[in-house]
Amino acid sequence: MDFDPRILVVAGDSAEGDSLCDLLDAENWATITADSAEAAEVVLSDFPIEAAILVVGADGSDIPALASRLKTLAAPRYLPVIALMGRAPTAVELDAVDLAMRTPAHPVQLRIRLEQLVRAALAEEELNLRIETFRQNGQEIDVPGPGSEPVRVLAAGKPDRRFLALSNTLSEDGADVVAAPTPYTAFDYLHETPFDAAVLWGAEDHAPALSIAAGMKRNTRLYHIPVMLYLSDGALIDSADLFGRGFADVAAADTDERETARRLLAMARFHRRQTGVRRALESVRGSGLTDPDTGLFTRALFAQHLVRVSEASRQRRRPLSICVLKVTMTDPVEEARRDGWLARALPQIGTMVSRLIRTEDTAARLSSEVFALALPGTTEAQARIAAERIVAVIGCTAFEAGPGRSPFVVEFELGVAEQRTGELPARTLERASGALASEARAAG
């Protein structure tokens, strides 16, 4: 995680709660335990909690009531609630929590899902902040609804009895499943049709599945689609390595198809909600308030919104970092700039920046060749990593330089600063810009 969040673990069985906390501590999450609903309420009143995990035994607890109570107490934060259950959840329980998982959960998987849920909470909060900023400027943002269309799932891999059974279960549960027998057809579908999730068949030769997942993570349009690997019988793969490769979930061979389908559909609906939030945040493109070429925030709008984001970060006691990205004037870029080809490429570059940032981040165009990012819930070190990943992806793109000339690539100088206690956001932005100049001198 990009900062040091506290996770509340509510477990009536102290041994089970302690075991879970040990797993989370090993994944660098700070935890605090409560052995009852009353104790959990006390914790929420005393500490800023980013997510809650309810450890539910076979006897069951009143999950809907407890989840609702905890979410109310955590306001104005949005509190994600995970139920770890030794049994299948009911429909009411699924609706009451953000995620229900069967025990035991792989610690890396649990860490990844926690990160996703905390990021989703930040995105919901950012949507509300952005609604306020644009309303202040006379522009309304439409908040997305759940939608009535079935979620669309790509099922990629050779036909197999268990894989076909999963596809049939997904269809029975209302999903629109598109089958792709090879990586080539999978990418054809991915480029032609929007998907809410993908499940890849990890057959004896799992190289095709790994290839598809790697290709999706290198593509700005496909980067955020959740991908599940469905292992075949006898497949021996390091789960931690798979999660590190970008898989959002891994279903073991002995997992029931209905359980796998439920987990996949939960990720698909989660992604659709996030996509809806992103579209709502992007709906102001062309409104006159954003940069007409890239759709990013203008310098003035960014400064106005940054004040609101900064205040929200202080209220919620979360870090806030700002990144400044400046196009490096290499010889090929200078030539492209002189001949007008850089100006033609910049709208595409701005669009790539908007697609590569997380939903809760805000991107702006400060000047022709300078961009800025506001990253809530992110330390300076993690903000630098995020910015470096963005420029690395853009650096893989070749832009046209005119007839008879080789395409050019774009590199960036980076400046990063984390907001200090009591510091005005404008000063944080100044420090990020100052770091940009310092790093440029050091590189020279």
Q: Tokens 């955590």 correspond to what residue?
A: 74
Topology of the domain covering 299-443:
Alpha-Beta Plaits (3.30.70)
Instruction: Write down the pLDDT at residue 225.
Output: 87
Structure-block tokens of residue 187: 């990418």
Spell out the per-residue pLDDT of the chain, length 444, in tens.
444 568 898 887 667 777 888 888 877 778 888 888 888 888 888 888 888 998 876 455 688 888 999 998 888 778 889 888 777 777 788 778 888 877 767 777 777 778 778 877 888 888 889 889 999 998 887 776 666 789 899 988 887 787 788 888 888 888 999 988 888 888 899 888 889 999 888 766 677 888 888 888 777 678 778 888 887 765 556 666 777 677 878 877 777 788 788 888 888 887 887 788 777 766 766 677 888 888 899 999 999 999 999 999 988 888 999 999 999 999 999 999 999 999 999 999 998 998 888 878 999 999 989 999 999 988 999 899 999 999 999 999 999 988 888 999 999 999 999 999 999 999 999 999 998 755 554 555
pLDDT tens per residue across span 363-383: 999 998 999 999 998 899 989
Instruction: Write down the pLDDT at residue 413.
Output: 93
CA–CA separation, 261 vs 341, rounded Å?
48
Do the Cβ atoms of 189 and 154 come closer than 8 Å? Answer: yes
Strands 249-251, 227-231: pairing kind? parallel
CA–CA separation, 232 vs 208, rounded Å?
14
CA-based nearest residue to 429, from 385, 388, 381, 375: 375
CATH number of this structure's domain 6-136: 3.40.50.2300
Do the Cβ atoms of 194 and 152 come closer than 8 Å? Answer: yes
Instruction: Write down the pLDDT at residue 431.
Output: 95
Q: Which residues contact 145 (CB under 8 A, 6 or more apart)?
A: 276
| Identical fold, 152-281 and 299-443 | no
CA–CA separation, 167 vs 150, rounded Å?
14
In DSSP terms, which residues pair with 251 in a beta bridge?
230
Rg (CA), the chain: 23
Do the Cβ atoms of 162 and 206 come closer than 8 Å? Answer: no
Q: What residue ranges do the domains of the chain occupy?
A: 6-136, 152-281, 299-443
Instruction: Write down the pLDDT at residue 128.
Output: 87
Instruction: Write down the pLDDT at residue 1.
Output: 41
Q: Which CATH architecture has domain 152-281?
A: 3-Layer(aba) Sandwich (3.40)
Strands 6-11, 320-327: pairing kind? unpaired
C-alpha distances out from residue 164 to 197, 200, 236, 323, Å = 17, 12, 21, 46
- Burial of residue 142 (CB within 10 Å: 0-12, 13-18, 19+) is exposed
CA-based nearest residue to 375, from 436, 417, 424, 431: 417
Total-model pTM = 0.70
Instruction: Write down the pLDDT at residue 433.
Output: 92
- Burial of residue 159 (CB within 10 Å: 0-12, 13-18, 19+) is exposed
Do the Cβ atoms of 48 and 78 come closer than 8 Å? Answer: no
